Amino acid sequence: LRSCSPGRARRTNASRRACLVARFGDIYAQERLDAETLLRTYISDMEMVQRIIYIAAVESFHAAKMAYRQFKIRVRETLSLGHSGPESLEDTVLDYIVRHEDLYDVQASVNEVIRSMNINPKISFPPEIDFIVISTLIRELCRVAFSMQTLLPPLDIAFGTDGELFSETKYHRSFDSDFTAALVAYHVWPALMENDLVIVKGEAVTKR
């Protein structure tokens, strides 16, 4: 039997979405700049600093989405044993996750992100330093990315590659870009997407 009234997660979807979109913007404005300042004490190359932060964002979303899928499978298996309605099992699972997001093991995701970054060929770090120095940024990105998976539809970041055609709808150009260049040299921050629509523009550097 399906309930006529939607579950708590569905009822709060719009307000949670608004909060998460705002939080994503706050991370760009605050934690990203804090991480940039911190990295500049170890790395003089600004491009490398920005690449590190962008890859941290991409890997954080990837790790959080994987963790969410595993978490949802465990919750569904547990709740299906005694589920009888009136809500659908999917709605019940979603309500449970929204109410118990504190059970998300964010530290495991942070560790996974740092592991992935350590073997990424596009970024390098002085050997005496560890990517753990930007773990605050990574942790906040993982939290917001995990919560974004509970939305209907979920939010995600755009896939970006070096050398792609610059998209005015997806990105702002960084101030140090060549504004006549058509191709992205590298990305500074990912665009936030809902299905195939850009919700928040990212940032990219264009160069000839």
Please say if the pLDDT value at position 58 is more than 70. yes
Whether 1 is covered by a domain: the verdict is no
Q: Report the mean per-residue pLDDT for the chain.
A: 92
Alpha carbon distance 30, 36 (integer Å): 10
At 7, phi and psi to the nearest 5?
-70, 170
- DSSP code for 105: -
Please say if the pLDDT value at position 3 is more than 80. no
Residues 178 and 144 in one domain: no
Please say if the pLDDT value at position 4 is more than 80. no
Residues 187 and 203 sit within 8 Å (Cβ to Cβ): yes
Tell me what pLDDT residue 44 has.
93
Lowest-pLDDT range of 22-36, 71-85, 175-189: 71-85
Of 29, 44, 14, 1, whose CA–CA distance to 137 is shortest? 29
Centre a 10 Å sphere on the Cβ of residue 156 and count the other Cβ atoms it contains. 19
Please say if the pLDDT value at position 8 is more than 50. yes
Residues 35 and 134 in one domain: yes
Tell me what pLDDT residue 162 has.
94
Residues 71 and 132 in one domain: yes
Over range 108-114, report the average pLDDT.
Answer: 98
DSSP assignment of 40-52: HTT---HHHHHHH
Bridge partner residues of 205 (DSSP): 186
Q: What is the domain count for the chain?
A: 2
Tell me what pLDDT residue 1 has.
32
